[in-house]
Amino acid sequence: MAEFRFPNETDEYRRQREGLLEREVELRAQAEAVAAARRDLPLGGRLGDDYRFRRVEDGTEREVSFVDLFGVHDELLLYTMMYGEEWDAPCPSCTSIVDATNSAWYAVDSTCAIAVVAAASAGQLRDWSERRGWTIPLFSAAGTSYVLDYAGREEQNPAMVSVMNVFRRTSDGIFHAWGSELLSRPMDSGHPRHVDSIWPLWNLLDMTPSGRGDAIVPRQDFRHSYFSRVVLGEGDSAGEGCCES
């Protein structure tokens, strides 16, 4: 196969690009190997509680059992977003992540169930979902121990937790299959990047010469006074910025 070159590129560019390409090939192979190892994990712990979540649907708030989240599927991706009952808006980073997963919801739902849970009320989640135009199901875990059981680690406030968990339903019950535990293994910078693989924003910026830069939070199009004050330690006037990447 003839060597491909872009118009007017230099020999030095092509030399370094070929070296980088080999590293990209290695990275792709490593990603495939990690995915295979993830699939080979034995099932984790059995779900100890059929958590009862709440959701507003067709104008009525109703209770939903954990098993109902699976629908017709035997596997469930369940993302916990940072959002509390006293917050004026959810975590902007979590919102960016759910924006992305929502865009894939229809295709993912053909293979496995996918949903979002938070400590905020069912009404708050309904309102925020309508504001963002989300179709991915959102459930309130307020009043349950789910968030701290499956995402809390050292955090005591369920509104301050974000994590991706995967569950599998079998004839013997529901079992935890995997969780984004990179959250507990942050980089030297202190940022975990525990769900970067499903977050297009940073992956797109990483392809550019400037990269994602020093900013660890995405720009957002809404104000988040509570989050800015309590989490970021900024003033109430903050309107753009977010939590960890």
Residue 234 domain flag: no
Under the banding of pLDDT at 50, 70 and 90, the label for residue 240 is very low
- Using a 10 angstrom Cβ sphere, with 0-12 exposed, 13-18 middle and 19 or more buried, the burial of residue 172 is exposed
Res 212: pLDDT: 83
* Number of domains present in the structure of the chain: 1
The CATH number given to whatever domain includes residue 115 is 3.40.30.10
Residue 203 domain flag: no
Q: In the sheet that 75-80 helps form, which strands lie side by side, from edge to edge? A: 60-65, 52-57, 138-140, 113-118, 75-80, 163-170, 173-179
CB 147 within 8 A of CB 80: yes
- Using a 10 angstrom Cβ sphere, with 0-12 exposed, 13-18 middle and 19 or more buried, the burial of residue 131 is exposed
Residue type, 97: I
Residue 106 domain flag: yes
pLDDT digits (tens, 9 = 90+) for 55-113: 999 899 999 999 999 999 999 999 999 999 999 999 999 999 999 999 999 999 999 99
C-alpha 116/C-alpha 95 separation (Å) is 11
Residue 109 domain flag: yes
Residue 82 domain flag: yes
pLDDT digits (tens, 9 = 90+) for 116-174: 999 999 999 999 999 999 999 999 999 999 999 998 766 789 999 899 999 999 999 99
pLDDT digits (tens, 9 = 90+) for 135-145: 999 999 999 99
pLDDT digits (tens, 9 = 90+) for 163-213: 999 999 999 999 999 999 988 888 887 778 888 888 888 889 899 999 887
Residue 177: domain span: 52-182
Residue 161 domain flag: yes
C-alpha 55/C-alpha 45 separation (Å) is 26
Residue 11 domain flag: no
Under the banding of pLDDT at 50, 70 and 90, the label for residue 2 is low
Residue 201 domain flag: no
C-alpha 47/C-alpha 141 separation (Å) is 15
